[in-house]
Structure 1
Amino acid sequence: MTGARIIIFAKAPVPGHAKTRLIPALGPEGAAELARRMLFDTCREALAAGVGPVELCLAHHLDWDEEIPRGVELTDQGAGDLGDRLWRAARRAETPLLFIGTDCPDLDRKRLKAAAEQLRDHDAILHPAEDGGYALLGLNRLDRSLFTDIAWSTDAVARQTIERIKALDWSLHIGETLRDIDEPADLSILGDTPP
């Protein structure tokens, strides 16, 4: 075990709140069901990685009453923009930590284990996403600048985060670029029929 805490950041899979950009293709119920499936798949992969505690940090979780997998700690994201919520979760946890979402099927147990291993030798690791965000951010150190004044939900997120890490003079490993499922065109990577 490498001792990295995995913090899964997600919205509870509630119709009308989760995967809203997929609603035109799947409808509110279908988008929520896909979000639910990806959330549980992510929890299983995080647990199977065996690198440390697994925390599911949810938005809108009070509207959702389904059981989460045994061994996963449930926390609330709280208020504020994404940066505020990530910073709050980071400060609550101990480093090393890995932030991930639930919308990247390629972020499996093998990649999570490899990311935790990279944190043995680096201050940070980042797996960029094809859309310009990141699928994983791993940290051995914390600094508020990584979460402040970032253009969230744009194609500048990974670039800005990398620039901030470099400005801190931290060692950084940039992993392979992965693809998220955010838009209807992304559904083709699932390899099966979405709900």
Structure 2
Amino acid sequence: MNQLGMFAKYWLPGTVKTRLARSIGDDKASQLYHHFVITLLARFQELGDRRVLAYSPIERRAEFAAVTPAAWELIPQSSGDLGRRMNRFFDSHLVGHEDRVVLIGTDSPTMPAQYIDEAFAVLQTHPVVLGPSRDGGYYLVGAAGQVPPIFAEIDWSTPSVWQQTVDRLSSAGCRFAELPLWSDVDDLADLARIADELTQLTQADPTWTSLYSHVQTALMDVS
């Protein structure tokens, strides 16, 4: 079974997109993050055999339920740091020999859907797949079968996340496949870049219009 998971945090101002908020303010950053979540849930609601939104904190279920399409299941994230929560997610969803799990975050709203399809395909021949991001982390991680302890004691939210994870995989003797490089939206430069990208995407597909409008509004307020 191909299972797509997405980790999302409640969009409380001051707690999400904090680097971007230094340029556009907490409220605008929160609104953008909220729209990133909505965009990704809508775009990927037909991918895989099962889709799971793992949300945080647990008491915000109602707010997530209000924006989550019926094609997604809602579950609360477990406790602990990001690495521990990721390990528990994979452990709880990789229960059969044919199970493949791909996990994404909410920082790459324009990530091509084909990358997720490619990840599932790669997991038929590799135990782990990673999608590297330009900031030194990764926008996607997938696994088939038992996952080695590769997420423990990682310096999350630093440029060394990718290399530390790759080193853990190498130490465990675990083969992995690599997807194309992609970008997160973390700061004002990233927001300007995605605005240019969305200009082209919106011309080809009007469903991008809402996200494009939110991004343009945030940038106009800065200028």
Please indicate, yes or no, whether the TM-score normalized by the shorter chain is above 0.5. yes
What is the deviation of 1:24? 1.9
Distance, in Å, in 1 between the alignment partners of 2:106 and 2:129 is: 18
In the superposition, the TM-score normalised over structure 2's length comes to 0.79
Amino acid at match of 1:180: D
Percent same amino acid among aligned pairs? 28
Q: Distance in 2 between matches of 1:103 and 1:61?
A: 21
Q: Which shows bigger deviation, 131-140 or 144-153?
A: 144-153
Range 130-139 or range 169-178, more displaced: 169-178
RMSD between superposed Cα atoms in Å: 1.7
1:109 partnered with 2:103: no
Q: Which one has the bigger helix percentage? A: 2
- For 1:19 and 1:194, the matched residues in 2 are separated by 16
1:9 pairs with 7, 16, 25, which one? 7
Q: Secondary structure at the match of 1:74?
A: strand
1:43 is matched with which residue? 41
Moved more, 129-138 or 180-189: 180-189
Residue range with higher mean Cα deviation, 4-13 or 184-193: 184-193
In the alignment, what sits opposite 2:182? 178
Distance 2:146 2:105 in 1: 19
Query: Residue 145 of structure 1: CA displacement?
Result: 1.8
Q: CA deviation at 1:194?
A: 4.8
Alignment partner for residue 32 of structure 1, among 30, 40, 61?
30
In the alignment, the residues of structure 1 paired with residue 146 and residue 155 of structure 2 have an alpha-carbon distance, to the nearest angstrom, of 19
CA 1:114–1:143 in 2, change beyond 3 Å: closer, same or farther?
Answer: closer
Given the superposition, is the C-alpha separation of residues 143 and 116 from structure 1 closer, same or farther in structure 2, using an over 3 Å criterion? closer
Letter in 1 for 2:59: L
1:89 pairs with 2:103 = no
Match of 2:199 in 1: none
How many equivalent residue pairs? 192
Q: Which one has the largest radius of gyration? A: 2
Distance 1:164 1:31, change over 3 A: same
Taking structure 1 as the reference length, the TM-score comes to: 0.90
Could you say which residue in structure 2 is the equivalent of 1:157? Answer: 161
Are the counterparts in 2 of residues 4 and 96 from structure 1 also a CA contact under 8 Å? yes
- What is the CA–CA distance in structure 2 between the aligned matches of 1:42 and 1:146, rounded to whole Å? 26
Deviates more, 1:164-173 or 1:60-69: 60-69
